[in-house]
Amino acid sequence: MGKKTKVAIAIAAASAAAWAGSKALSNPQKRENKTALTYEHPIILAHRGGSLLAPECTMEAFEIAAGLGVHGFEIDIRLTKDEEIVVFHDEYVDRVSEGSGRIADMTLAELKELNFGYHFADLDGYLKYREDPARIITLRELLERYPNKLINIDMKDAPNTYEGGLMPSKLWRLIEELGAEDQVVITSFHDEQIDRFNLYAQNRVALGAGVGEVRKAYTAFTSQFGHLYSPKVDVFQIPTKYGVLPLDTPGFIQFLNNLNVPVHYWTINDVNEMKRLIESGAKGIVTDRPDLAMQALLDIVE
C-alpha cells in the first residue's frame, strides 16, 4: 500500500469518526410552534396584495385578494421621512407612481398625494393612468383592516441606513401596540436586521429566514452534517432557486419540515408549479395571482 493511499484512508477514517462523533453528540433543536404558523393545510399569501390583479401594495389589491379568500399577504415595508411605516417595496416611488422620489425622503402626507396606481401592468396590458387614484397605505392601516390575516412582513430598508436602523424598534412597538404578535412573520434579506428586531420581540413573533440563514441551512442539508443544524428562524420564505442552487427539492423541504420549519415559495404564478411545490411538501405559496392559487389549492385539497 502506497503512502498516498494510506493518507487517504486515514483522512477518510478520521472524517467518518468525526461524523459518527458529531451524530452521537448532536441534539438539533426543533423550532417551537408559533401561533401565526399553525395551520392544517398549505396557505396562499397574496404578493403585495396580488400585484397582477390591482396596483401593488394598495388597499384595492388587498381587498381583492381578501375577497378571494387568501390566508394572508406578503408585503414589504419602508420608513418615511417622518418615521411612519408604509407598505411599499422599492426604495424609490418612480416605478408605480405618478411622482418620483425616495420613500425615506418623503413624509407620509406627501406620499398620500401620489397616485400609486399610475403605472399598473394588469392582465390586459399596461395602463398608463387610472382615473381613480390608488393610495399608499401604512402598516398600521393594513393590520387594523385585516386582524385575522397572516401578514409576512419584509423589512426592506438596509440596516446600515438611518431608516433601517430605526425600523426594528419602530416595527416592534407597532406590533406590540396592536397586539399583532400572533398575526405576523417578520423577515429581511439582512439576517442582522432580523436579529435586531428579535432583540425587542424576544421570540414572541414568528421570524423568517434571511439570506445567511438560507445558505447555512442549505449547506448543512447538502453536507454530511445536517444533523448539526439548528434553525434560528420559524419559516423559510424563499425562491425555488438561489443562483444555480435548487431550493425546491422534496429532500430540502422535508429537511426543514423535520425541524418544524415550514417552507413558503415566492413568487409563484404558474398553477402547475404551485401544485408541484405543495405536493413536494411546501406549506405556503406567495403569488401575484391569488385567484389562480386559491383554485389550485382547492383542486389539491378536494
Average pLDDT over residues 104-124: 86
Q: Which residue has the higher pLDDT, 72 or 10?
A: 72
Predicted TM-score of the model (pTM) = 0.88
Whether the CB-CB separation of 86 and 80 falls below 8 Å is answered with yes
Whether the CB-CB separation of 180 and 144 falls below 8 Å is answered with no
Q: Which residue has the higher pLDDT, 69 or 18?
A: 69
In 3D space, the residue among 131, 128, 133 whose CA is nearest the CA of residue 111 turns out to be 133
In a domain, 267, yes or no: yes
Q: Which residue has the higher pLDDT, 244 or 85?
A: 85
In a domain, 126, yes or no: no
Most confident of 5-9, 121-125, 204-208, 294-298: 204-208
Name the grid cell of 290.
Answer: 391569488
> Of the given ranges (71-80, 195-204, 293-302), which has the lowest mean pLDDT?
293-302
| Rounded Cα–Cα distance for residues 44 and 149 (Å) | 11
Average pLDDT over residues 185-202: 98
Q: What band does 6 get if pLDDT is binned at 50, 70 and 90?
A: very low
| Rounded Cα–Cα distance for residues 146 and 141 (Å) | 9
| Rounded Cα–Cα distance for residues 255 and 123 (Å) | 37
In a domain, 6, yes or no: no
Query: What domain range is 222 assigned to?
Result: 31-91+139-301
Whether the CB-CB separation of 46 and 73 falls below 8 Å is answered with yes
Q: Could you give the count of Cα atoms lying within 13 Å of 239 in the half-sphere of its Cβ?
A: 9
Counted domains in the chain: 1
138: Cα separation from own chain's centroid = 19
In a domain, 123, yes or no: no
| Rounded Cα–Cα distance for residues 88 and 57 (Å) | 6
Question: For 67-79, how does the pLDDT look when each residue is reduced to its tens digit (9 = 90+)?
Answer: 999 999 999 999 9
| Rounded Cα–Cα distance for residues 168 and 195 (Å) | 9
Whether the CB-CB separation of 90 and 154 falls below 8 Å is answered with no
Q: What band does 8 get if pLDDT is binned at 50, 70 and 90?
A: very low
Average pLDDT over residues 198-218: 97
In a domain, 73, yes or no: yes
Read off the CATH number of the domain in which 258 is found.
3.20.20.190
Average pLDDT over residues 96-101: 88
Question: For 136-168, how does the pLDDT look when each residue is reduced to its tens digit (9 = 90+)?
Answer: 999 999 999 999 999 999 999 999 999 999 999
Q: What band does 117 get if pLDDT is binned at 50, 70 and 90?
A: confident
pLDDT computed for residue 174 by the predictor: 98
Instruction: Tell me if residue 230 falls in helix, strand or coil.
Output: coil
In a domain, 238, yes or no: yes
pLDDT computed for residue 30 by the predictor: 85
Q: What band does 16 get if pLDDT is binned at 50, 70 and 90?
A: very low
| Rounded Cα–Cα distance for residues 125 and 92 (Å) | 23
Average pLDDT over residues 240-247: 92
Q: What is the mean pLDDT of the chain?
A: 89
Q: 252: exposed, middle or buried (C-beta count within 10 Å: 0-12, 13-18, 19+)?
A: buried
- Inform me whether the pLDDT recorded for 27 exceeds 90: no
Q: 101: exposed, middle or buried (C-beta count within 10 Å: 0-12, 13-18, 19+)?
A: middle
Average pLDDT over residues 31-38: 93
Neighbours of 46 (CB within 10 A): 31
Rg of the chain over Cα atoms, rounded to whole angstroms, equals: 22
- Inform me whether the pLDDT recorded for 222 exceeds 70: yes
In a domain, 109, yes or no: no
Average pLDDT over residues 258-262: 96
Average pLDDT over residues 217-244: 93
In 3D space, the residue among 216, 250, 249 whose CA is nearest the CA of residue 233 turns out to be 216
Q: What band does 280 get if pLDDT is binned at 50, 70 and 90?
A: very high
In a domain, 170, yes or no: yes
pLDDT computed for residue 98 by the predictor: 83
